[in-house]
Amino acid sequence: MAYTPAPPDPNAPPVRINLLSDTQTRPTPAMREAMARAAVGDEQTGDDPTVNALNERVAALLGKEAAVFLPSGTMCNVTATLATCRPGDEIIAHRTAHILSREGGAHAALGGFQITGLDGDDGQFSLDAFRAALHPRSRYEPPQTMVSVEQTANIGGGTIWPQATLDAIAAAGKEAGLATHMDGARLMNAAVATSIAAHEMAAGWDSAWIDFSKGLGAPVGASLAGSRAFIDEVWRWKQRLGGSMRQAGIIAAACHYALDHHVERLAEDHANARALAAGLAQIAGVDVQQPHTNLVFFRPDGAGVAGDAMVAELRQRGVLLAMMDGRIRACTHLDVSAAMIDETLALVREIVRKA
Ligand SMILES: *Cc1c(COP(=O)(O)O)cnc(C)c1O
């Protein structure tokens, strides 16, 4: 996941409150039971009934013809660009996008693609900025073949793109002949926070995916959806990259369980994030971005504590979080309670008081 891990400290106390990432959730006992009961087959040959049912379920959820189960969200992004672009092609995204900064250069290393990072507040670029980045096809410039957005925008603060902007950028992209790709690592957070259905958010986008191993609380897995022809091509890349699996119904069962039980409850994570942000905002000198979903970005420097010092002090008190791109990111999730938020706020106040 996208964070700068704190240096391991053998003397640090055990972590009691884990705000590092929604990837840190542990499968619940009920989820583990669902996994143990899963009907399984050979996923690679299309014979795993639990995976097949998940593919149909996610295709319907995202309003697409087909879907494929992959080991990670990163592999969703990588197979999507590999299935769509050719070497030398240009992909347009926000400059903080996961595909640009957090996937080890996969799109350049494996596909030979270049990604243009657009500016814009909160991890989002405007329709005007997108239009300004488009250029006519010529032998001089790289062919522009894809535009990608993150819903929600992670480094942007877990922000939700307005539906009208999503629709307008997708339409402008199609008009210019680009494929449209939605990185939906936290799409279900956006859907729950707005009551706009995931398929509606993804409607203008040729490909879209959701991650089960973030706020949904499953241990492994992400599903990429699109047209049948696109998914056929993604399958080729999944095979090439070694992403085809065997009795993957064991992990797909956790994803079914997550869709059944862990979607609506994302609202609790959002309420906890709002409570954390509201409490931090009351501490003089702490600069906090108002959260849209489950990510809270803040800077304590104005209160006399540098960000990395705050991270280290909290770690000494059993709270784990990290700096991300110059700010502290706190992430609420399944294993974070309202009481833990209260305790974290009390500890931040104590650290600021002592400084
Ligand atoms: C986490 C994340 C990914 C990658 O997903 P993994 O399952 O960690 O590979 C991609 N995009 C965004 C916005 C993310 O937050």
Domain 4-26+265-354, CATH: 3.90.1150.10
pTM score: 0.96
| Fold designation for 38-261 | Aspartate Aminotransferase; domain 2 (3.40.640)
Looking at residues 104-108, what average pLDDT do you find? 98
Residue whose CA lies nearest to ligand 1 atom number 14: 185
Residue whose CA lies nearest to ligand 1 atom number 1: 1
Q: Best substitution site from 3, 21, 74 to test ligand 1's pocket, by max atoms within 8 Å of Cβ?
A: 74
Are 189 and 215 within 8 A, CB to CB? Answer: yes
Given a cut of 60, whether residue 249 has pLDDT beyond it is yes
In the block, residue with structure tokens 């290393």: 109
User: Rounded CA gap, 17 and 14, in Å?
Assistant: 9
User: Rounded CA gap, 346 and 2, in Å?
Assistant: 27
Q: What is the pLDDT of residue 2?
A: 44
Length of the chain: 355
CA of 138 to the centre of ligand 1 (A): 34
CA of 75 to the centre of ligand 1 (A): 9
Computed over every residue of the chain, the mean pLDDT equals 96
β pairing state of 222-226 and 66-70: antiparallel
Which tens digits make up the pLDDT trace of 284-311? 999 999 999 999 999 999 999 999 999 9
Residue whose CA lies nearest to ligand 1 atom number 5: 73
Which residue, 66, 27, 19, 355, is CA-closest to 216?
27
CA of 1 to the centre of ligand 1 (A): 7
Looking at residues 332-343, what average pLDDT do you find? 98
CA of 208 to the centre of ligand 1 (A): 13
Confidence grade of residue 1 (pLDDT, cut at 50, 70, 90) = very low
Q: What is the pLDDT of residue 11?
A: 82
Buried/exposed 312-323: b ≥16 CB within 10 Å, e otherwise: bbbbebbbbbbb
Looking at residues 257-269, what average pLDDT do you find? 98
79 prior amide bond cis, ω within 30: no
CA of 98 to the centre of ligand 1 (A): 7
Task: Locate CATH 3.90.1150.10 in the chain.
Answer: 4-26+265-354
Given a cut of 60, whether residue 122 has pLDDT beyond it is yes
Confidence grade of residue 195 (pLDDT, cut at 50, 70, 90) = very high
Identify the H or E element spanning 201. helix 198-201
Are 209 and 16 within 8 A, CB to CB? Answer: no
Confidence grade of residue 6 (pLDDT, cut at 50, 70, 90) = low
Question: Which residues' Cβ are closer than 6 Å to ligand 1?
Answer: 1, 72-74, 77, 98, 150, 154, 183, 185, 211, 213, 222
Confidence grade of residue 342 (pLDDT, cut at 50, 70, 90) = very high
Phi–psi pair at 288, nearest 5 degrees: -125, 135
Q: At what angle do helices 73-84 and 228-240 cross, to 10 degrees?
A: 110
Q: Best substitution site from 154, 216, 295, 331 to test ligand 1's pocket, by max atoms within 8 Å of Cβ?
A: 154
CA of 102 to the centre of ligand 1 (A): 8
Start-to-end CA distance of the chain, whole Å, equals: 31
User: Rounded CA gap, 129 and 137, in Å?
Assistant: 18
Which tens digits make up the pLDDT trace of 64-83? 999 999 999 999 999 999 99
Task: Locate CATH 3.40.640.10 in the chain.
Answer: 38-261
Extract the tokens encoding 189.
């957070």
Q: Strand, helix or coil at 351?
A: helix
User: Rounded CA gap, 249 and 254, in Å?
Assistant: 9
